[in-house]
Amino acid sequence: MRDKIRKYTEEINSFRTSRKEELEDFRIRYLSKKGIIPGLFSEFKDVPADQRRDIGLMLNELKNTAQEKFDQILHLLEAAETVQKPSLDLTLPADFMETGSRHPVSIIWNEIIAIFSRIGFTVAEGPDIEDDWHNFSALNFQEEHPARDMQDTFFLQEQPAFLLRTHTSSVQIRTMEKTRPPIRALFPGRVYRNEAISARAHCLFHQVEGLYVDRHVSFADLKQTLLYFAREMFGENTGIRLRPSFFPFTEPSAEMDISCFLCGGKGCRICKGTGWVEILGCGMVDPAVLDNCGINSTEYTGFAFGMGIERIAILRYQINDIRLFFENDIRFLRQFRSAL
């Protein structure tokens, strides 16, 4: 046994290689489960008791020598490999990396907010799931108003007291209930309507609501604010016109058209020959609505407006089908680039 151990110690000590395969042969020969050293350890049980101590020590030393030899050569080989790898070539052209683009609804959403924040409007959001009070009653909708009908509104099946908001006007109410004038804020968000989906209508779309409440807010303020918006959004030569209309929560109410940005008013496909395109609803906040929110309507007045974001995007980008906004077809989406 002693002689064998000496012989293997010598062999191991003189082992040299610069090849990984040979190092692996070495490991298999001496260290692997069926290798020489584990073999010697299993012979160890036959060693007479008086020699066990010495031979045990020699065996352990042999094992350590082999393991150290292996580790040392492995380390050297790996170090050599790293050095030999070709170093980074900084002159190679970079891999092409496609950058993403924003969704057109997000672009217009951000643009509207940017335009109004320049004149002091802040931004707030409300919940998509609303109650009847915030979506209808507080906004002065009568009990029998057709908008409350199942045909137009998605009510929650299990909780019919709750519904998916049909407009962002609900956030006006939430804001006026918890803040006192002056209020000058925008409320962007998703709205839902129980409509058949077509090129012109969708059951889900986005609106931005605007609200300004203070002492002495007048219809002239409303008109000037919306003219500013129209020119920022559609170009400085844009004109506006207000047509009388009706909304339960504003009095008087109006719909606003902009002069057609495509034909300049001469009449074309976009404005259907009229020279004007409708873009939003607006009006003076009905005193009953202020009172519903605990704002004294003899002291304060306000104006409000609401517009569909997809509608603005459709006009700006001349898109002919609202469904495109929700299909996420990459060929559609990658056409929009913007700084916002």
Q: Which residues bind ligand DAH (CB under 6 A)?
A: 167, 169, 209, 247, 250, 281-283, 304-306
If the CB atoms of residues 11 and 255 are measured against ligand DAH, the closer one turns out to be 255
Instruction: State in angstroms the smallest separation of the CB of 167 from ligand DAH.
Output: 3
If the CB atoms of residues 209 and 310 are measured against ligand DAH, the closer one turns out to be 209
If the CB atoms of residues 66 and 105 are measured against ligand DAH, the closer one turns out to be 105
SS3 string, 282-327, reads EEEECHHHHHHCCCCCCCCEEEEEEEEHHHHHHHHHCCCCCCHHHH
132/130 Cα distance (integer angstroms)? 7
Nearest in space to 182 (alpha carbons), one of 220, 208, 212: 212
Strand partners, 189: 207
If the CB atoms of residues 147 and 262 are measured against ligand DAH, the closer one turns out to be 147
Instruction: State in angstroms the smallest separation of the CB of 316 from ligand DAH.
Output: 19
Instruction: State in angstroms the smallest separation of the CB of 96 from ligand DAH.
Output: 44
> CB 257: neighbour CB atoms within 10 A?
20
If the CB atoms of residues 175 and 259 are measured against ligand DAH, the closer one turns out to be 175
Instruction: State in angstroms the smallest separation of the CB of 191 from ligand DAH.
Output: 7
Distance of CA 269 to the CA centre of its chain: 35
- State which residue has the least CB distance to ligand DAH: 306
Token readout for 214 is 């203070």
If the CB atoms of residues 250 and 259 are measured against ligand DAH, the closer one turns out to be 250
Instruction: State in angstroms the smallest separation of the CB of 164 from ligand DAH.
Output: 13
Instruction: State in angstroms the smallest separation of the CB of 318 from ligand DAH.
Output: 23
If the CB atoms of residues 147 and 268 are measured against ligand DAH, the closer one turns out to be 147
222/3 Cα distance (integer angstroms)? 106
Ranges assigned E (strand) in the chain: 122-123, 129-131, 162-164, 183-192, 204-214, 240-247, 250-259, 276-285, 301-308
Any idea of the CA torsion for 198, 203, 205, 210, to the nearest 10 degrees?
A: 120
Query: Which letter does DSSP use for residue 46 in this model?
Result: G
Instruction: State in angstroms the smallest separation of the CB of 238 from ligand DAH.
Output: 20
